[in-house]
Amino acid sequence: NTVNSGVTIPSPGTLTGFIWSYNNVVTSTNNVDTVVGPFTISGRYEYVASYNTPCGILQDTAVIDVLLPLVISDDTTICQGESVDLTVEFPGTGPWTIVVSDGGPTDTITGIAGLTFTHTDTPMVTTTYYVHSYWGTNNFIVDNFDSATVTVILTPLVDLGPDQTICEGDSITLSAAGPVATDLVFSEYGEGSSNNKAIELFNGTSDTIDLANYRINQSVNGGGWQYEHYFPAGAKLNPGQIWVMVADQMSSAYFDIALADEVLSYPSVVHHNGDDARGLEVTTDSGTTWTLIDIIGDPDNDPGTGWDVAGVSAATANHTLIRKPEVLAPNTDWLVVAGTDPASSEYIVHPVNYYDNLGMHTMNIDFGVGNTYLWSNGDSTESITVMPTTTTTYSVTVTNATGCYSVDSVTIHVNPTPVVNLGPNTTFCNTESLTLDAGAGFASYLWSDLSTGQTLVLDSFNLTVGTHTISVTVTDTNGCEGVGSVEITMADCTGLNNLSLSKALKFYPNPNTGNFFMEVNGINGEMIIRMTNTTGHMIYNETINVTGQMMKELHIEGAAAGLYYLQVIHNGSRFTEKIIVK
């Protein structure tokens, strides 16, 4: 019996002199219906009726199994990610089997030896827990003695992204704005007993979705995509709205099919077995091409009974799958969707015929309404712009209107700015050359005259008399840039020697193939011969001694066709000749 009040035991006969006893203690001495109880402790009560006769004692036993109501903790509210301890009070010692269940994994206590025990869980969504009890080995069940609902308040979604690297002196903007839903998703899939089957879609975006642009592709036993389900004409889903499809023979004990958007007869998209894949597709050109955006199962492989999900074997058969609140986007990678354990999966797995949530879906989208922000640098805005001088970690705490919060952090690595030293400000004669060196080891160089070498040769050809600012931008191997500059003054030191030098030199043939002659007349001493291309890059440099008259053959190996400048320097005089290589 399931009683917590008195129980009437009918009289065992018409004779007088009966003695009622419990645990050898006399409780009554009459032959009328006997009331025992009320009971304050659950257990097995055996009342014995005895009657003395000349031939001995006659006895009969009335057995009363008493299960008093279980008491579970009161309804409570927690933030997502927190654990909850539900205390079950049980006024008795057993032998009992106590089961606490939320439709998912159960917490079973057998042969409980105390009056209370605690069930600990971390629900992802609002969940009702039911307490069940069984008596001894008789499997005598009293169902739903008590229940407790744990309301789960979603925490704000905050993702500052991966760690980043910037160059010294650069700024970067960090945003704590939560991600947003991108498209329609499968939000629930149910493969129940018989024809208790359902599929649910959810629109978590901020736009109204026209279902004319969507369809569900179907696979049977790993045979690839074979059939398509199109939605009724004019069907649309507003932001936050759900679309429910069920089999027409679904039991009302699990779901009222009058609440469904589509009730489908066999064969249909919801008449699936555990090894039948389903794929959500979208078109952007009125059905000419379709693109898969979300998937349940593998259309090209038959797993046998069903695919494993969240570490649950064959979970797509005889289970209900509910998409986690933090899943904001569809996903075509079934291995990632299914995951290998409850933490990595995009779904929560519930037992067969669990449809308490069908027609309701929770997605962690609040668009920042009512959120407050606190950054590690003291700022309280949704986004901040920072310019760290050294590698720095920034964190933010986002708290929503209900007081639930999330924390995320990101590390900004700072690479140093390359240092360029072109030396002091310099003055030189227009009859000379000056070489500036930006330093070795950089990935690239860009001078103010657009040349790209490590060094820059300045002379009367690429510089005029006067003061000039010469700069170079170098790029380090880490991508950071540095700039160096210097003031160069070219003085006019030209004299008659330059005219004499021009008369003493002849070059031929010109144009040539890179091989030509230089004829020298009436000059003695050291002579420098240099040849550069139009970007200032030196491709030939030689110092020779001249005695009066001589012929010098020049070989410019590997010179590409184009214009070059040949410079001759002698006793402070400089002469430049244009050389054309064919």
In the numeric block, which tokens belong to residue 120? 């600990």
Residue pair 552/409 in contact (Cβ under 8 Å)? The answer is no
Strands (E), 368-465: 372-375, 383-386, 392-399, 405-415, 426-429, 434-437, 444-447, 455-458
Lowest-pLDDT range, 75-84, 289-298, 425-434?
425-434
Label residue 418 by pLDDT band (50, 70, 90): very high
- Show the CA angle centred on residue 429, arms to residues 424 and 435, nearest 5°: 50
Instruction: Classify strands 127-135 and 140-153 as parallel, antiparallel or unpaired.
Output: antiparallel
Q: Please give the structure tokens belonging to residue 98.
A: 């106590």
Complete DSSP assignment for 65-96: EE-PPPEEPPPEEEETT--EEEEEE-SB--SE
Mean of the per-residue pLDDT values for the chain? Answer: 85
Which pLDDT value is given to residue 90? 65
Distance CA 424, CA 487 (A): 8
Beta carbons of 488 and 428 less than 8 angstroms apart: yes
> pLDDT at position 40, please?
66
- pLDDT value at 330 more than 90: yes
Residue range 115-125, pLDDT digits in tens: 677 778 888 77
Quick one: tokens of 154? 């979603």
Helix ranges (DSSP H) in 250-353: 334-338
- Rounded CA-CA distance 6/482 in Å is 93
- In this predicted structure, the answer to whether residue 267 has a pLDDT above a threshold of 60 is yes
Dihedral sign for Cα atoms in the order 53, 57, 60, 61:
positive
Which tokens in the block code for residue 167?
A: 């160059």
Q: Which of 332, 321, 277, 280 is nearest to 303 (CA)?
A: 277
> What local confidence, expressed as pLDDT, does residue 437 receive?
95
Query: Tokens at residue 528, please?
Result: 């420098």
d(CA 180, CA 534) in angstroms, rounded, equals: 55
The helix/strand/coil state of 335 is helix
Other beta carbons within 10 angstroms of residue 43's beta carbon come to 17
pLDDT of residue 567 exceeding 60: yes
DSSP β-bridge partners for residue 164: 412
- H/E element holding 214? strand 214-219
Summarised one tens digit per residue, pLDDT across range 10-28 is 766 666 667 777 776 777 7
Per-residue pLDDT, 234: 95
Flag whether pLDDT at 2 surpasses 50: no
Mean pLDDT over 485-508 rounds to 76
Cβ 503 vs Cβ 519: under 8 Å: no
Q: Between 532 and 98, where is the model more confident? A: 532
- Cβ–Cβ under 8 Å, residues 473 and 482: yes
Cα–Cα distance for residue pair 85/121, rounded to 1 Å: 7
Q: Count Cα neighbours of 75 within 13 Å in the Cβ-side half-sphere.
A: 6
Predicted confidence at residue 3, as pLDDT, reads: 46
* Cis peptide bond prior to 325, omega within 30° of 0: no
Q: How far apart are CA 131 and CA 142, in angstroms?
A: 9
Cα–Cα distance for residue pair 554/550, rounded to 1 Å = 13
pLDDT over 60 (residue 141): no
Residue 364: Cβ within 10 Å count: 19
Pick the range with the lowest mean pLDDT from 135-139, 489-493, 574-578.
135-139
3-state secondary structure of 2: coil
- 92 has a pLDDT exceeding 60: no
- Distance, CA of 349 to CA of 341 (rounded, Å): 10
State the average pLDDT over residues 390-406: 92
| Least reliable range by pLDDT among 212-226, 444-458, 496-510 | 496-510
What average pLDDT does range 367-385 have in this prediction? 88
- Mean pLDDT score, 444-458: 95
Tell me the C-alpha distance between 387 and 407, whole Å. 22
Q: Which of 99-108, 200-209, 500-509, 565-574 has the lowest mean pLDDT?
A: 99-108
- Read off the amino acid at residue 294: D
Rounded Cα distance, 574 and 36, in Å: 130
Annotate 103-121 with DSSP letters as a single string.
SSS-EEEES--SSEEEEEE
State residue 449's pLDDT score. 93
Give the Cα-Cα-Cα angle 98, 99, 101 (nearest 5 degrees).
160
Residue 47 above 70 pLDDT? yes
